[in-house]
Amino acid sequence: MDCSPTLKGPLYVRRSCALAVKPAATTIKRHMFSLVNKVAFVTGASRGIGKAIAMKLAAQGAFVVCAARGDHAKGTADEIVAAGGRADAMTLDVTDDGAVSKVPGQIIETHGRLDILVSNAGITRDQLLMRMKRDDWDAVIATDLTATFALAQAAIRPMLKQQGGRIIAIGSVVGEIGNAGQTNYAAAKAGLIGFAKALAREVASRGITVNVITPGMIDTDMTRAISGKAQTDWAALIPLGRLGTGDDIAAAACYLASDEAAYITGHVLAVNGGMNM
Ligand code: NDP
């Protein structure tokens, strides 16, 4: 049998042959990481990394509930809506356990579902351990660790019913390598990693993934508060030669939130310009 290609019109066509390759039945999926029809909740969405995450989740099609204290997250929600996205603002102090426990219920009532939780709100209260006040320890643990426990505990109920969900905690490179003057912050961020891995095992069979993003040095209010000398010292440790941006972290969050990341759980995704490899 002659299987040599023949020219037919402008196309190169292979003659009938048992070995002829059939055209693939699949179609090309043009929009990876689409979050259309997903409802996301982002804490600390008023500025910095949380705002960038909220904006990017919305750009991928998610309805984003943006939370912060007071009316601080309203600007982010307004910006999303002005850009053609879908968003609401919510007032939430993540250290208020009572308020946190009601959030998923409120979101389900208004939007019908909750697919993505991004626990991003965080603070620093830096001091050498010798001088650290108990209040500074407690405040950082409450905001940067315990709030994620409370939010995740409340969010997994609807996610279990939905048989799926994404929980993403924002940790820090400091939780992986430590940093003098940040024993409280390092403990909280390292705690998130253990928490996420344990929870990932508890809920994996129900299609819920739990992951941590560990940013390096990102250009936000938090790092602008560090003295110029400390900033330069840190920047010198970054192989990629620049501070990160909120968008760098937001891209990782979109990926972990997407259907394409369904097989990734209990993972720590470092987005740090190579600071810790
Ligand atoms: P910013 O200081 O710029 O923003 C902090 C956000 O957290 C604000 O939206 C703030 O909201 C919110 N927040 C703080 N406390 C509370 C609270 N009690 N209740 C509700 N919201 C609160 O920080 P970044 O954007 O830089 O940091 C975001 C996350 O990324 C944090 O978890 C941080 O630890 C982590 N991270 C940051 C790095 C960096 O280099 N910037 C590096 C590694 C990790 P409000 O408007 O109400 O104050």
CA distance 152 to 168: 9
User: What pLDDT score was predicted for residue 139?
Assistant: 98
Instruction: Please work out whether the CB of residue 217 comes within 6 Å of at least one atom of ligand 1.
Output: yes
Ligand 1 pocket, residue 123 CB under 6 Å? yes
Q: Is 72 in the pocket of ligand 1 (CB under 6 A)?
A: yes
**Helix (H) / strand (E) containing 223:** helix 221-224
User: Is 255 an annotated catalytic residue?
Assistant: no
Looking at the CA of residue 47, tell me the nearest atom of ligand 1.
9
- Ordered per-residue pLDDT tens for the chain, 277 residues: 343 433 343 333 344 444 555 666 667 666 799 999 999 999 999 999 999 999 999 999 999 999 999 999 999 999 999 999 999 999 999 999 999 999 999 999 999 999 999 999 999 999 999 999 999 999 999 999 999 999 999 999 999 999 999 999 999 999 999 999 999 999 999 999 999 999 999 999 999 999 999 999 999 999 988 777 777 887 888 999 999 999 999 999 999 999 999 999 999 999 999 999 9
Other Cβ atoms within 10 Å of 10 Cβ, number:
5
CA-to-CA distance for 5 and 20, rounded, in angstroms?
10
Residue of 79, 90, 120 best suited for mutating to test ligand 1, as the one with most atoms within 8 Å of CB = 120
Atom of ligand 1 nearest to the CA of 93: 19
Atom of ligand 1 nearest to the CA of 52: 25
pLDDT at 233: 81
pLDDT value for 31: 78
Q: Is the CB of 250 under 6 A from ligand 1?
A: no
Domains observed in the chain = 35-271 (3.40.50.720)
Question: Are the CB atoms for 140 and 124 separated by under 8 Å?
Answer: yes
**234: nearest Cα among 183, 189, 177:** 177
- Cα 76 to its chain centre, rounded Å, is 16
Cα separation, 234 vs 219, in Å, equals 12
Q: What is the DSSP letter of 21?
A: P
Nearest CA, atom 33, ligand 1: 122
Burial class (CB in 10 A: 0-12, 13-18, 19+), 217: buried
The whole-model pTM stands at 0.91
DSSP per position, 149-161 = HHHHHHHHHHHHH
Q: Which two tokens mark 225? A: 């508060």
Question: For residue 50, how far is its CA from the centre of ligand 1 (angstroms)?
Answer: 7
> In angstroms, how far is CA 35 from the centroid of its own chain?
13
